[in-house]
Structure 1
Amino acid sequence: MISKVDNEDIDFTNEEASLLKELLLSSGTKSKLKDALLRKIYLKSEIVIQGNHLLNAHLGKIVTDLSKAISENKQVVLKKYHSANSNTITDRLVEPINFTDNYTSLCAYEIETGENKYFNIERITDVDVLQKLYEFESKHQLDKLDAFGFSSRNGLPFYIDIRLNLRAYMILKQEYPMITPYVKKEAKTSNYRLKLEVNNPKPVIRFVLGLLDDVEVCGSIEFKEYLKNFVSTTFENNKSDFEYVKKYDFSIVSIKS
């Protein structure tokens, strides 16, 4: 018979928390109960502090402070947040919702814009946890990001199938570590194969065009067409670059039909 224990003293080991997390994430169903369980796993284990990208105590403190705010339903100010989109450094008043699976980003409701956004953890200088509780919880929306960090609100999804040599694989893995589960080593070759669905094709296109000699786009048809149109439009006023790119057999990148 299992004796009763104080649930405040229950903590998961990393192995227990990781197993529970994977079981929940593998479930295709969406529910508030599932989200609540995931949140408790994150907050009741050491996973928060030991995320692979938390390379220093400063980032660890930011994640710890945000986790505390989430557990207490409190608003926070992301101090001196560096925005890559607007090229600005500003304080952002938000209601933190949850982290992405690998703790690279925070999903939060930004009060000024009235939008749910993702904030890169490494671009947060500091966190000020306020005593003010959530005011807009009914507007919170947690979208699942793709491996390149884009949510389903970023447009129509594309299925991509790309062959990579070792150099391309290592570069892509370093820049986008979340792609790792979607990459398989090809049998009897030194190449790798990346197959997954993305919410925005632009980071993939940027990667392909930067490593034309190291990648081969195998699919999908929709992604190939988008890529061809993108290159044609981008290079139409730059003939030298266009001729360089066009030499690759994809009708403009090394795409194999």
Structure 2
Amino acid sequence: MAAQQNLLRALKLIRLLKQRPGKTLRQLAQLLDCDPRHARRFLDTLEEVGFFVEKEGTRPPRFFLFEDERRQQAEFTEEEAELLQQALTALPSSNPVLAPLRQKIFSHSTLFPLADSLLDGHKSGIVTCLHEAIRNRQQVRLLRYYSANSDTVSDRLVEPHSFSPDYSQLTLYEPASDTVKTFKIGRMEAVELLDTPQTRPPAEAPTDPFEWPGEPVRVSLALTQMAAHLLTEDHPLTRPDLHPAPADTAFPCRYTGEVRSWVGIGRFILGLPGHVRIDAPEGLRAYVQGRIGDFVL
């Protein structure tokens, strides 16, 4: 049982480390339901088998998994990867090429996507449970939901209303705060379907690609390649409004779309200093400048 638990934690850790922004050791320990010492041990194990665990910042550092774009090339099968791993055991651990070889084997094999496929099956069960709650107008309890806003992990009593088109987000009503919110499915560890009926029927509350409701406002951003990649990775609904601008070598991508609040898009911009230029509107520029002033003070 302990071995199975450790395997599930390792697979979940891979998924967590692939999400940006990175997470602190304390956050990883909370999400893995273990103490920080064990979370650190899991990180060390991933590095030992060839994964590149990177960290950014110092107070405290945030960990993430480096993924080479060459993963898109042809992959090894599990049998091929296992054979190569066995061959590598003949090399002394001090050999400087050993770690890079292991990383290449794992990143180009089906072993890496295995974590995605297993955890996607878990996500499918969560979506099925939430769909039943939406259909029958029932309350649910989200178990160990991670909130990036408050940097906490907690159980949340909510009333599910609707999914985003790609089923990555859930619009819901939270009785405790008397607020309609948008939660990410990927941050839900489990869902408990309750017998209690919903207290507030779902209302149309459209949100923007950054998960915020409000009146729509059109914005235009110039992005570096890295910013464009993170934009579509963290907010996939922005993809249709992202276009290349090859003439601008410094900011070769453009995002032109509608948002309903400065908060969501503002957080994205503030998280990537030097990688996003606000072309319009002036209100968004003023909001970001104000937030920068808050940080300074």
| TM-score > 0.5 by shorter chain | yes
Letter in 1 for 2:158: V
Measured after TM superposition, the shift of residue 146 of structure 1 is 0.7
Equivalent in 279, 288, 292 of residue 218 of structure 1: 279
Measured after TM superposition, the shift of residue 220 of structure 1 is 1.3
Equivalent in 101, 108, 112 of residue 172 of structure 2: 108
RMSD between aligned residues: 2.9
Spell out the pairing of 1:35-184 with structure 2 (5 A cutoff). 56-137=120-201, 140-152=202-214, 158-184=217-243
Equivalent in 194, 201, 221 of residue 262 of structure 2: 201
The answer to which structure has the higher helix fraction is: 2
Q: Distance in 2 between matches of 1:220 and 1:175?
A: 23
Letter in 2 for 1:224: R
Deviations 1:134-180 (A, max 9, x none): 3432xx3331111111122xxx6553211123222112221222211
Deviations 1:8-38 (A, max 9, x none): xxxxxxxxxxxxxxxxxxxxxxxxxxxxxxx
Measured after TM superposition, the shift of residue 233 of structure 1 is 4.2
TM-score normalised by L of structure 1: 0.59
Q: Distance in 2 between matches of 1:68 and 1:84?
A: 26
Identical-residue share of aligned pairs (%)? 29
Specify whether residues 208 and 54 from structure 1 end up closer, same or farther in structure 2 by C-alpha distance, changes over 3 A only. farther
Measured after TM superposition, the shift of residue 203 of structure 1 is 4.0
Give yes or no for the alignment of 1:185 onto 2:247.
no
Specify whether residues 126 and 163 from structure 1 end up closer, same or farther in structure 2 by C-alpha distance, changes over 3 A only. same
Measured after TM superposition, the shift of residue 68 of structure 1 is 1.6
TM-score normalised by L of structure 2: 0.52
SS of the residue 2:209 aligns to: coil
Q: Is the 8 A contact 1:158 1:223 kept in 2?
A: no
Q: Distance in 1 between matches of 2:266 and 2:176?
A: 32
Q: Is the 8 A contact 2:141 2:157 kept in 1?
A: yes
Q: Distance in 2 between matches of 1:60 and 1:69?
A: 14
SS of the residue 2:160 aligns to: strand
Measured after TM superposition, the shift of residue 192 of structure 1 is 1.6
Measured after TM superposition, the shift of residue 53 of structure 1 is 11
Q: Distance in 1 between matches of 2:283 and 2:221?
A: 13
Q: Is the 8 A contact 1:98 1:142 kept in 2?
A: no
Q: Distance in 2 between matches of 1:218 and 1:159?
A: 11
Give yes or no for the alignment of 1:228 onto 2:289.
yes
Letter in 1 for 2:286: E
Specify whether residues 149 and 134 from structure 1 end up closer, same or farther in structure 2 by C-alpha distance, changes over 3 A only. closer
